[in-house]
Structure 1
Amino acid sequence: MRFSTLLLSAALVLFTSILFAADGEIDDAKAPATMAYYELSPSIVVNVKGRAKYIRCDVQLMTRDEAKLPAISLHAPALRHELILLLSDQQGTDIRTSKGKEKLRKIALKSLKGVMKAQVGDEMIDDLFFTTYLVQ
């Protein structure tokens, strides 16, 4: 009786260890990708319409998968080009307000996602942030 209890206890410990190990492997497979940022540099400076003369901004692009950074970097010239065209078409007075900045940020994000979709078939960019923003 004592031997069978000891054997059963040992089997239970071994079985539990195997289950925890298997569970850890499943969790590793489901682990989320690492979030990463890509800076479009140098600063973007373009003339705008209206009374304001220009906008200068620094832009950071966020992706939820660090493995996508090389593709974003490769297509950075196309992304910069799209932003330059978008920014130069803005009314300076509209993009000075908080609402105007946020609206511009959303439009720029959608536009850059479109560029990546056209280039590689995946939007890749999850968010866009202005880290410097000056309209004069």
Structure 2
Amino acid sequence: MRFITLLLSVMLVFSTTQLSAATETKDGSEAPGTMAYYELSPSIVVNVKGREKYIRCDVQLMTRDETRLPAISLHAPALRHELILLLSDQQGAEIRTTKGKEKLRKVALKSLQAVMKNLVGDETIDELFFTTYLVQ
């Protein structure tokens, strides 16, 4: 039992995937930086409006500054809460289409940026990606 607990703890620590890369500044020049990803887990499953019954999705949040990961991790419950409320207010038929998915992604990103701005004074999150997306 202790082994399983230890294994789950290690998996939780390593569930954040980091990627080093160069970022582009506003003037178009390359500036050194490190991008990092944070996985909101477990999967988000909520009921939606309309004929479709629910959505299940996995979400990865990207920041262009890996030093922001602790803030994202700390406020992950608030971010999940915001996504749950947002997703449960969607019409299932609309979010099944490619355009609907992209529109939802952009709205979700803005919502999570607003949450982070309110909590830490900075938008912190630069991109949001659905890595699994199922509407039924």
Task: Normalising by structure 1, report the TM-score.
Answer: 0.77
| Residue 36 (structure 1) aligns with | 36
Give secondary structure in 2 for the equivalent of 1:134. strand
2:120 is aligned with what amino acid? V
2:65 is aligned with what amino acid? D
Residue 82 of structure 2 corresponds to residue 77 of structure 1 = no
Greater helix share, structure number: 1
Give secondary structure in 2 for the equivalent of 1:34. strand
**4+ long deviations beyond 6 Å:** none
Give secondary structure in 2 for the equivalent of 1:32. strand
Q: Distance in 2 between matches of 1:49 and 1:69?
A: 33
Q: Distance in 1 between matches of 2:32 and 2:113?
A: 21
Q: Distance in 1 between matches of 2:93 and 2:31?
A: 45
The offset of 1:41, in angstroms, is 0.1
Greater RCO, CA 8 A, separation 6+: 1
For 1:1-136, list aligned pairs within 5 A.
Answer: 32-136=32-136
Give secondary structure in 1 for the equivalent of 2:34. coil
| Residue 14 (structure 1) aligns with | none
Q: Distance in 1 between matches of 2:87 and 2:135?
A: 11
Q: Distance in 2 between matches of 1:32 and 1:75?
A: 27
Any unmatched runs of 5+ in structure 1?
1-29
Q: Distance in 2 between matches of 1:35 and 1:57?
A: 22
Greater strand share, structure number: 2
Q: Distance in 2 between matches of 1:120 and 1:135?
A: 33
1:123 is aligned with what amino acid? E
Task: Normalising by structure 2, report the TM-score.
Answer: 0.77
The offset of 1:113, in angstroms, is 0.1
Any unmatched runs of 5+ in structure 2?
1-29
Q: Give percent identity, aligned residues only.
A: 86
The offset of 1:31, in angstroms, is 5.1
1:32 is aligned with what amino acid? P
| Residue 10 (structure 2) aligns with | none
Give secondary structure in 1 for the equivalent of 2:101. helix
Equivalences, count: 107
